[in-house]
Amino acid sequence: MTQHKVWDPFVRLFHWSLVGLFTANALIVDDDSRVHEWIGYAVAALVALRILWGLVGPRHARFAAFAPKQSDVIEQITDIATRRRRTYLGHTPLGALMIFNLILTMLAICASGYMMTSDAFWGVEWVEEVHEILVTWAEISILAHIVAVLYESHRTGINLPRAMVTGTKRVPDDIRIVE
C-alpha cells in the first residue's frame, strides 16, 4: 500500500464545510429565515473561494489538473464495466464532472436565492421554482456522488471518504495509478 498526499487542507475544509452548510439549508433551517439567507451567502463565498483555489491552488486542487477529456471519461466507464482496477491520484474523470456540476449548481442556487431577496424578483414565482428545482438537482447529484464514492472505494480498495478527511490516499500496490 502506498500513500499519496493529495487533498490540501483548503480543499478538505471546503468540501466538509459545503456538506454542512448545504445540509443545514436543505434539511434543517427554515427556508424563510434570515439564517437560511446567511448560510446561502456563506455557500456563495465558499464556492467563490474554491473557484479561486481551483485557479491558483496546488496541483490536485486546480481545475486544469482534472478537467476531463471525453476519452478519459469513456476510459473510466470502460474500467468500471470491465472491472479493471486503476485509479487517479486526484479526481477521476467522472468525479471531475460531478465537481463541476456541483460547483455550477451551487452557484445557480445562490444566484436564484439572492434574486428572491431583491426588489426586482421579490415574489416572482419562476425564480422560486428555479431555486427549488436546482436544490432538488443538487440533492440528486449529491446522492449520486455519495453512491459513486462508496462504489469506487469498494471497486478500487481505496477509502475515498478517509482520503477527503486526512488528505492522503492509500493506494493498494496492485492498482495502476493514472496521472
Per-residue pLDDT 10s for the chain (179 aa) are 999 999 999 999 999 999 999 999 999 999 999 999 999 999 999 999 999 999 999 999 999 988 889 999 999 999 999 999 998 989 999 999 999 999 999 999 999 999 999 999 988 999 999 999 999 999 999 999 999 999 999 999 999 999 999 999 999 999 889 87
Give all strands (DSSP E) within 6-141, no chain letters.
86-88
Does residue 152 contact residue 96 with C-beta atoms inside 8 Å? no
DSSP SS3 for 176:
strand
Please give the pLDDT value at position 167. Answer: 96
Whole-number pLDDT of residue 178: 86
pLDDT score of 134: 98
Of 118, 138, 139, nearest to 127 by C-alpha is 118
pLDDT of amino acid 179: 74
Residue pair 74/53 in contact (Cβ under 8 Å)? The answer is no
Closest-CA residue to 155 (of 92, 97, 96)? 92
What domains, with CATH codes, occur in the chain?
2-178 (1.20.950.20)
| Amino acid at residue number 140 | I
Sign of CA dihedral 19, 166, 81, 176: positive
Q: What is the DSSP letter of 172?
A: -
Q: How far apart are CA 45 and CA 58, in angstroms?
A: 20
